[in-house]
């Protein structure tokens, strides 16, 4: 019988607790703006020490799901906040307002990993990856094209769910596969649209675009997703807030 264990099953205790806390937020157990129980209550509920809860909450805070307010407690961040479910989607209008993408076209396929993917995901030449090609709109205007690659050994049935893959992938990765994206590395370049990008974004060939090459890492610091995104530079900016 095939094992149903997730990668978090062998993770340190505080990471497993962090995953359970995050899952409650994703599931709506604690709503945006609602306070999370204090360390004493959480330690009792999860039957762990306060030190474990403290480390777990530091991990959850790092993902942007919660906000610790001195003297008040810890609160679930509101969906309109920059560090929400679209914490890792950083497209903005020129005036600085962050945008929410809308689904447009999407395809999902499975193929063997190329050499670069084998190195990033630590795969062999015979291992497979799942590829999501996704086009998205903002206010009815084609805004992005995305090429997303994940290792099939971590996302075994993703290619069977092509009609049920949500727009916000990282909560979905966590809830279904136990893959908790903790951080990303983004590399941004200014690129003139080639023929395919121009067709995807409905612009002229040679139009200015921003290309973002991203690698997403989980709590074990494993690469779990490689993503190449193209954005229309004439309408949108890539917004990053450092604190």
pLDDT tens digit sequence for 177-213: 878 787 889 999 999 999 999 999 999 999 999 999 9
- Asked if residue 66 lies in contact with residue 74, where contact means CB atoms within 8 angstroms, the answer is yes
- Four-residue CA torsion sign, 224, 225, 226, 232: negative
- Asked if residue 201 lies in contact with residue 142, where contact means CB atoms within 8 angstroms, the answer is yes
Stronger pLDDT, 92 or 152, i.e. the higher one:
152
pLDDT confidence tier of residue 214, bands split at 50, 70 and 90: very high
What pLDDT, on the 0 to 100 scale, is given for residue 241? 62
Delimiting residues of CATH 1.10.10.10 domain(s) in the chain: 7-76
How is the beta sheet containing 66-69 ordered, strand by strand?
Answer: 35-36, 73-76, 66-69
39-46 and 13-27 are packed helices; what angle lies between their axes, rounded to 10 degrees? 100
Stronger pLDDT, 5 or 113, i.e. the higher one:
113
Delimiting residues of CATH 3.40.1410.10 domain(s) in the chain: 92-238
Which class for 19: exposed (0-12), middle (13-18), buried (19 or more C-beta within 10 A)? buried
What pLDDT, on the 0 to 100 scale, is given for residue 79? 47
| Architecture label for domain 7-76 | Orthogonal Bundle (1.10)
**Alpha-carbon span 20 to 40, nearest angstrom:** 16
**Alpha-carbon span 87 to 101, nearest angstrom:** 13
**Alpha-carbon span 176 to 110, nearest angstrom:** 19
**CA distances for 173 relative to 37, 122, 208, angstroms:** 25, 19, 32
Stronger pLDDT, 91 or 48, i.e. the higher one:
48
92-238 maps to which CATH number?
3.40.1410.10
- Asked if residue 143 lies in contact with residue 229, where contact means CB atoms within 8 angstroms, the answer is no
pTM value is 0.73
What pLDDT, on the 0 to 100 scale, is given for residue 242? 54
Q: Tens of pLDDT along 55-91? A: 999 988 887 788 888 888 899 876 443 344 455 667 7
Which class for 23: exposed (0-12), middle (13-18), buried (19 or more C-beta within 10 A)? middle
Say whether 14 sits in a helix, a strand or coil. Answer: helix
pLDDT confidence tier of residue 3, bands split at 50, 70 and 90: very low
- Four-residue CA torsion sign, 44, 48, 49, 50: negative
What pLDDT, on the 0 to 100 scale, is given for residue 119? 97
What pLDDT, on the 0 to 100 scale, is given for residue 8? 53
Q: What is the mean pLDDT of the chain?
A: 85
> 153 Cβ partners below 8 Å, 6+ apart?
123, 127, 128
> 48-66 burial string, b = 16+ CB within 10 Å, else e?
beeebbebbbebbbebbbb
Q: Which helix (H) or strand (E) holds 224?
A: strand 223-232
């Amino acid at each position: 019988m095939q094992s149903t264990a997730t990668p978090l099953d062998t993770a340190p205790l505080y990471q497993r607790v962090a995953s359970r806390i995050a899952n409650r937020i994703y599931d709506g157990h604690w709503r945006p703006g609602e306070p999370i129980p204090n360390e004493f209550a959480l330690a009792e509920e999860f039957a762990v020490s306060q030190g474990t809860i403290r480390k777990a909450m530091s991990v959850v805070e790092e993902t942007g799901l919660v906000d610790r307010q001195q003297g008040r407690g810890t609160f679930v961040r509101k969906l309109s906040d920059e560090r929400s479910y679209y914490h890792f989607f950083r497209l903005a209008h020129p005036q600085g307002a962050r945008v929410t993408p809308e689904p447009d076209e999407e395809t999902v396929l499975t193929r063997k990993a190329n050499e670069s993917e084998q190195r990033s995901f630590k795969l062999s030449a015979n291992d497979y990856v799942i590829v999501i090609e996704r086009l998205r709109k903002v206010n009815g205007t084609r805004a992005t094209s995305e090429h997303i690659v994940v290792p099939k050994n971590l996302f075994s049935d993703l290619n069977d769910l092509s009609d049920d893959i949500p727009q916000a992938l990282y909560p979905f990765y966590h809830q279904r596969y136990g893959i908790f994206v903790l951080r990303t590395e983004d590399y941004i370049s200014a690129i003139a649209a080639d023929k395919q990008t121009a067709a995807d974004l409905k612009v002229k060939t040679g139009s200015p675009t921003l290309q973002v090459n991203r690698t997403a890492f989980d709590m074990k610091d494993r690469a779990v997703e490689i993503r190449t995104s193209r954005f229309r530079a004439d309408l949108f900016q890539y917004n990053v807030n450092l604190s």
